Structure 1
Amino acid sequence: MGVSFSVKAQNITEGGKVKPPTVTQDSLQETKLQKRPVSKSSKTDKDEKAKIQDYSIISIENDTTYVDTTLTIKKDYKFNYLRKDNFGLLPFGNLGQTYNSLTHDFQSTSLMPGFGATARHFNYWEIEDVFYYRVPTPLTELFFKTAFEQGQLVDSFITINTTPQFNFSIAYKGLRSLGKYQNALTSTGNFRFTSNYQTKNKRYNIRGHIITQDLMNQENGGLDNVSTENFIEGDEEFLDRSILEVNFENAESILVGKRIYLEHDYTLIKKDSLSSNEIKLGHIMAFEDKYFEYEQSSAVNSFFGDAFVTSNLRDKATLENFYNKVFVNYSNKLLGSLQFNLSNNNYNYGYNKVVVLNNNTIINRLKGNVYAAGGSYIKQYKGFELNGQFGLNLSGDFTGNYIKAKATFNLNEDIAASASLNHSSKAPNYNALLYQSDYKNYNWQNSFNNTETQQIAFNLKYKNWANLTVDFNTITDYVYFKQDENIPVNETAQSIRPYQNNSTITYFRAKFQNEIRLGKFALNNTIMYQNVQDDNNTLNVPEINTRNTLYFSSHLFKKAMYLQTGVTLNYFTKYYMNAYNPLLAEFYVQNNEEIGDFPRLDFFINAKIRQTRLFLKAEHFNSAFTGYNYFSAPNNPYRDFTVRFGVVWNFFL
């Protein structure tokens, strides 16, 4: 989710993506804005125009790319609600709802538990999703895309450098979509403000952001069993999806978050012609306040089991987290860059009530302080780069540690390879440790072991012809959600709670990407193979997941327009797909119903005129003639055939 527009890339990054050589904020400020004349006859500053490479986009890791207004097939893959390639994610029926994950990445460098409500975090901007900018002239981007019934998706962005040292950006993404089914309205908003500054002597740098987010979904629990059968049969009477019965029509949930982030550093000793050493001191501060709330006007049926109250049910989990880190960074032209840091997390998670269930009192708060130490090392030499990180919790109620190492080698301009190793030990998410609800079966307090993961990964890339990524994972003490083992399934539809798999899971993934070109035609392929060895069947994924696009590209009207048109096939094999629980906003394991083996065909026409890109897509146009047995989760149908369009418009002032 990071930046609101696409970027170009030139060197190999993790996962086979590419980027230009890493540029730090120091070196970025030292580079003067490059200018070029509009015409050979004009040489005045007024008529000069900045190059596109001058419009810089800087990640949290200080990797720098630049604005890209071209039209490629990758732009089509990113023209969606998340504004990123969503291969491996299966969206629900309405825009702005959750996604079912067809693959999982167990690489982690986190030392603290996650908040939970993971099904609602796909569009939640984390710290690593935020980018910073430096531009020679004001840059604006406007994004628009139609939604499903009475709504639209918009994303507006502007960034300005008031001086070569100071930049700020403001952006807002908003969505409202009624959806095709009853009680499925979505309304979301993400406001972002970023700023960065560097003194003229280039010793002091500061950057930060403010983000507010509210993600609201009406919840209907999916189709009831009778309507699910009617949907599969494809009777014309039920092609109007609004007449299908859902499990309930009186609930909604919302995820709200506010964050202030500040990072600054000062260079005590700076590299110059006389010294190859540099010492930098820095500080990072982040304060985040977030909550997830589920409301239901009445417990009209036994979908979640018995409740303490019969009306105005309301569950609200809150988290306040205040994070501080201080670091010292030493770099040497020969030895590389070495960092050491100390950090503190002050956390407060919980509820505003105390629950007594079966004479057992469930506490309402998890709060305290965790102190940690960490470090990193980076060394670059010609085409070789070595990158390592580690972290360890020193004190507090949560133990945790991680080690990550990666080696990248560019064999030549065409071939690059990388290998990485990651070990992580981290406490489960807060909502698996403590949960309170007005529903009796959704109250627990657990003392789970840390989940430990190990991953070894390899990547090999040859131009655009082949990009192969392979990773092998072992997961111990995996925490997951499933139906309560002590409650018969026929007594309630969903009585879900967390469990821990005490055995070790092995998980293998291989992902192959390539593009074959013949004249103006091209075939773009992404194929993933997955294999899981898990005696308890707690981690379920499809064996094969593929996306294949056959398309035609050409300039038209004396190169005034660039056109792309083609067909995309998405497909995954049948497997025991996770089901969705709206009360927890979590997916849970089920091993009763296999879902998959349905193709999804999209026809698209995309065009570029100057800095404007137009997108028109007939989504899932095969739905009427390949059968209606397509679902994003049990009882939650995937989208029917629909035609949607949108535009991305860049302004360079």
Structure 2
Amino acid sequence: MRYYILTLFFFFVLFSVNAQVEESKPSKELLPFQKKEDSIAGSKKKKVKKEAKPISIEDYKIISKDRDTTFLDTTLTISKEYKYNFLREDDFELMPFSNIGQAYNLLGVNLENSSLYPKIGASARHYGFFEDEDVYYYNVPTPMTELFFKTTLEQGQLLDALLTFNTSPRLNFSIAYSGFRSAGKYRFEQAQSGRFRTSFNYRTANNRYWLRGHYASQDIEAEESGGLLDKETQFESGSEEFLDRSRIDLVYTNADNRVLSKRYFIDHQFNLVRPRKDSVKTKSTLLAIGHQFNYESKFYQFDQTAQDDTFGQVFISPVADRARLKTMFNQVSANFSNKTLGSLSGNINLYNYQYFFNSLLIREDETIQNKLEGDEIALGADYKNTIGKLSLKGKVRYNLSGDLTGTLFDGAAKYQLNENNSITASIHGSSRAPNFNFLLYQSEYQNFNWQNNELFEKQQIQTLAFGFNSKLFGNFEAKYSAIDNYTFFGIDSTITEEDFENGIENAFVRPEQETSTINYLKVKYNIELVYKKWALNNTFMYQNVTQDNQVLNLPEFVTRNTLYYSSDVFKKAMHIQTGVTFKYFTSYNMNGYHPLLGEFYVQNREELGAYPLIDFFINAKVRQTRIYLKAEHINTIWSKEYNYYSAPNYPYRDFVIRFGLVWNFFS
């Protein structure tokens, strides 16, 4: 059904764009990216007013939840190559699984909490999920459409379509849908998702009232194979019989999990001071009251048609686990801003949550509740200002009532030394409960029922970061974090060597909490060296973890190096980039993946990594269309070492060629 809806939407977009283009003669406004001398080509009779301002790409504005504004970027750069993937983000610190849309293992971490409140859990199944800060608002002079397309593995495709338009200079609407399906090279690992978003953005003629909101409905699901059943014989041996990966035996043939969510978001503000007509330009004093509302219902499910010994014994078969979370967030704020004093906001937050299962579990002398619910009340303040070359930003939240949260503090400063160089510094401190699935969980499998909400302490994180950004010397970032009460999934200490040999360690995965402090240092450096039409883009990352027990496992060193060539061809009608990317990380105790929980867990028995990932790409740009062609993991063509894994028992993909495009329409 979702693909039928997507197909209709796709043709609607093409029809609406083509109709608007056909109805309008070429003009400077409708074709903003033409050269000045071509803006009214072929139309000598039609005169253009001298005072009319031509539309440029910078007029197509993209606005974040925090009201930071950027504009549409249609250039072809190496950073766009790094972001051309399922996440549409640079995945340097991630190790993807074999199939598209599956989980990602961690090569690096950012431990700072962006939210004051815990999440439902199943974090490995949330890659690609649109949180409220991932939905954008727009302001465009003409309707704009963006189509993102990329092939997947075997059956299926990936398409992300966006249409945004202003019905007036003060009212914008957008509608977007990301639909994808990929069967994968291995059996029983099909992944698919449908992620729908629509948003609006409105302000009154006198700029006193602003209103924006969005609705998001998301469905992310995947078959769970459990990984290889006999990796030594069928994968690592390199046997020609099993180079066809569909012949390889897998642990599960009857399991899948799924994340579903619906969210309603409203943010509006009324200015108590009547602004001057030129207030937008002069940034006159603003004294306003605001309100933000967010209601979301989400559930995570795991289904298996029959019991499997790798998870232990069951109460009832078939297995149909359901975890549900309903949250409602209200924030009332008073906002003051001034060109000299900056922007200051004080707010009070009310957060209501219901995390629940359908049953109450009673066994022997233990009772496991079916829900956690309550209200959280917090006070907060936000500050932002620019003083000459210095930019400041701060955020603080303090919990007055409730059991889940404590405090959240973020502070950041940026100083622009000159046009080419800047320095940054930031500080973070937070205290909050672990995600809900650490505190309470119920399953048809007997081993996966626990309640820790009165046993686990709040996880506390303190972070200091420093950065130096230079167009000549590159970008440098150093970050130090101290973590107390680090919460993770690990293997129960009661497991025996025989259990590992029988491959049933998944039955012994439990939530745990580290009582001693963990110290984490990350140093990251990126620089691009350019010679004529050749460039070498390098990113290096060093990590060091000091801990009493091995619970935060990361590679010590990660590098990505891209050598590429750029040039205009066909009389500058096309711009191309072609090159080779080399990625490598040192071996470490890579986290294991748990299909039932949709989480990664700590394991210290097997080191993985220390293998290269080499890709070859050819990208091109024609007008506002970027075309991408990539041969992924080409070193498997000549290498006979089958030791590349994304997690224990989960191999990374073999050599594959994929292609696609990003296409912007303007009308």
Does the CA-based 8 Å contact 1:33-1:136 persist in structure 2?
A: no
The C-alpha deviation readout for 1:296-335, integer Å capped at 9, x for no partner, is: 0001x311111112x3111000000010000001123332
Rounded Cα–Cα distance in structure 1 between residues aligned with 2:333 and 2:644: 51
Does the CA-based 8 Å contact 2:491-2:505 persist in structure 1?
A: no
The C-alpha deviation readout for 1:141-188, integer Å capped at 9, x for no partner, is: 111111101111011111000100100000101111101111001111
What SS is found at the alignment partner of 1:50?
coil
Q: Residues 52-63 of structure 1 correspond to what in structure 2 (within 5 A)?
A: 52-63=57-68
Does the CA-based 8 Å contact 2:31-2:666 persist in structure 1?
A: no
What SS is found at the alignment partner of 1:432?
helix
Instruction: State the Cα distance separating 1:488 from its structure 2 match.
Output: 2.9
The alignment status of 1:86 with 2:91, answered yes or no, reads yes
Rounded Cα–Cα distance in structure 1 between residues aligned with 2:114 and 2:618: 40
The alignment status of 1:406 with 2:412, answered yes or no, reads yes
**Match for 1:577 among 571, 590, 594?**
590
Match of 1:615 in 2: 628
Q: Which amino acid aligns with 2:381?
A: G
Distance 1:298 1:517, change over 3 A: same
Rounded Cα–Cα distance in structure 1 between residues aligned with 2:112 and 2:285: 33
Instruction: State the Cα distance separating 1:558 from its structure 2 match.
Output: 0.3
Q: Residues 110-149 of structure 1 correspond to what in structure 2 (within 5 A)?
A: 110-149=115-154
Rounded Cα–Cα distance in structure 2 between residues aligned with 1:397 and 1:509: 32
The C-alpha deviation readout for 1:111-144, integer Å capped at 9, x for no partner, is: 2112100001111100111111000000011111
**Match for 1:376 among 379, 382, 385?**
382
The C-alpha deviation readout for 1:349-403, integer Å capped at 9, x for no partner, is: 0100111234311001001111111001122111101211100111122231011
Instruction: State the Cα distance separating 1:555 from its structure 2 match.
Output: 0.5
What SS is found at the alignment partner of 2:130?
coil
The TM-score, its normalising length taken from structure 1, stands at: 0.92
Match of 1:344 in 2: 350
Rounded Cα–Cα distance in structure 2 between residues aligned with 1:526 and 1:43: 52
What SS is found at the alignment partner of 1:269?
coil
Instruction: State the Cα distance separating 1:589 from its structure 2 match.
Output: 0.2
Distance 1:357 1:73, change over 3 A: same
What SS is found at the alignment partner of 1:242?
helix
Q: Which amino acid aligns with 1:97?
A: Q
Rounded Cα–Cα distance in structure 1 between residues aligned with 2:175 and 2:472: 35
Match of 2:271 in 1: 267
The C-alpha deviation readout for 1:25-45, integer Å capped at 9, x for no partner, is: xxxxxxx99987815976426
**Match for 1:332 among 335, 338, 341?**
338
Match of 1:363 in 2: 369
Match of 2:237 in 1: 233
**Match for 1:481 among 468, 477, 489?**
489
The C-alpha deviation readout for 1:569-627, integer Å capped at 9, x for no partner, is: 01100000000000000000000000000001000011111111111110001013331
Does the CA-based 8 Å contact 2:207-2:275 persist in structure 1?
A: no
Rounded Cα–Cα distance in structure 1 between residues aligned with 2:540 and 2:660: 27
The alignment status of 1:646 with 2:660, answered yes or no, reads yes
Rounded Cα–Cα distance in structure 1 between residues aligned with 2:73 and 2:407: 38
**Match for 1:396 among 399, 402, 405?**
402
Q: Which amino acid aligns with 1:493?
A: E
The alignment status of 1:189 with 2:194, answered yes or no, reads yes
Rounded Cα–Cα distance in structure 2 between residues aligned with 1:222 and 1:276: 60
Q: Which amino acid aligns with 2:250?
A: V
What SS is found at the alignment partner of 1:74?
helix
The alignment status of 1:563 with 2:569, answered yes or no, reads no
The alignment status of 1:306 with 2:310, answered yes or no, reads no
Q: Residues 233-632 of structure 1 correspond to what in structure 2 (within 5 A)?
A: 233-270=237-274, 272=276, 277-299=285-307, 301-309=308-316, 311-446=317-452, 447-463=455-471, 465-488=473-496, 490-491=498-499, 492-494=504-506, 495-626=508-639, 627-632=641-646
Does the CA-based 8 Å contact 1:507-1:530 persist in structure 2?
A: yes
Rounded Cα–Cα distance in structure 1 between residues aligned with 2:659 and 2:405: 49
Rounded Cα–Cα distance in structure 2 between residues aligned with 1:470 and 1:45: 53
Q: Residues 155-194 of structure 1 correspond to what in structure 2 (within 5 A)?
A: 155-194=160-199
Does the CA-based 8 Å contact 1:221-1:582 persist in structure 2?
A: yes
Rounded Cα–Cα distance in structure 2 between residues aligned with 1:190 and 1:115: 18
Equivalences, count: 619
Rounded Cα–Cα distance in structure 1 between residues aligned with 2:53 and 2:333: 42
Does the CA-based 8 Å contact 2:60-2:140 persist in structure 1?
A: yes
What SS is found at the alignment partner of 1:237?
helix
Rounded Cα–Cα distance in structure 2 between residues aligned with 1:551 and 1:277: 49
Rounded Cα–Cα distance in structure 2 between residues aligned with 1:420 and 1:563: 38
Rounded Cα–Cα distance in structure 2 between residues aligned with 1:390 and 1:141: 36
Match of 2:216 in 1: 211
Rounded Cα–Cα distance in structure 2 between residues aligned with 1:334 and 1:428: 40
Q: Which amino acid aligns with 2:272?
A: L
Structure 1 unaligned regions, length at least 5: 1-31
Q: Which amino acid aligns with 1:318?
A: R
Q: Which moved more, 1:333-342 or 1:611-620?
A: 333-342
Does the CA-based 8 Å contact 1:479-1:500 persist in structure 2?
A: yes
Instruction: State the Cα distance separating 1:500 from its structure 2 match.
Output: 0.3
Instruction: State the Cα distance separating 1:107 from its structure 2 match.
Output: 1.6
Rounded Cα–Cα distance in structure 1 between residues aligned with 2:49 and 2:248: 65
Rounded Cα–Cα distance in structure 1 between residues aligned with 2:131 and 2:114: 14
Does the CA-based 8 Å contact 1:34-1:54 persist in structure 2?
A: no
Does the CA-based 8 Å contact 2:315-2:445 persist in structure 1?
A: yes
The alignment status of 1:71 with 2:40, answered yes or no, reads no
What SS is found at the alignment partner of 2:309?
coil
Rounded Cα–Cα distance in structure 2 between residues aligned with 1:450 and 1:142: 43
Q: CA RMSD in A?
A: 1.9
Rounded Cα–Cα distance in structure 1 between residues aligned with 2:558 and 2:47: 55
Distance 1:45 1:295, change over 3 A: farther
The TM-score, its normalising length taken from structure 2, stands at: 0.90
Does the CA-based 8 Å contact 2:495-2:505 persist in structure 1?
A: no
Does the CA-based 8 Å contact 2:376-2:401 persist in structure 1?
A: yes
Instruction: State the Cα distance separating 1:278 from its structure 2 match.
Output: 2.2
Q: Which moved more, 1:488-497 or 1:40-49?
A: 40-49
The C-alpha deviation readout for 1:496-533, integer Å capped at 9, x for no partner, is: 11000000000000000010000100000111000000
Match of 2:17 in 1: none
Instruction: State the Cα distance separating 1:229 from its structure 2 match.
Output: 4.0
- Percent of aligned pairs sharing the same letter: 48
Rounded Cα–Cα distance in structure 2 between residues aligned with 1:358 and 1:117: 29
Does the CA-based 8 Å contact 1:109-1:424 persist in structure 2?
A: no
Does the CA-based 8 Å contact 1:88-1:102 persist in structure 2?
A: yes
What SS is found at the alignment partner of 1:94?
coil
Instruction: State the Cα distance separating 1:408 from its structure 2 match.
Output: 0.8
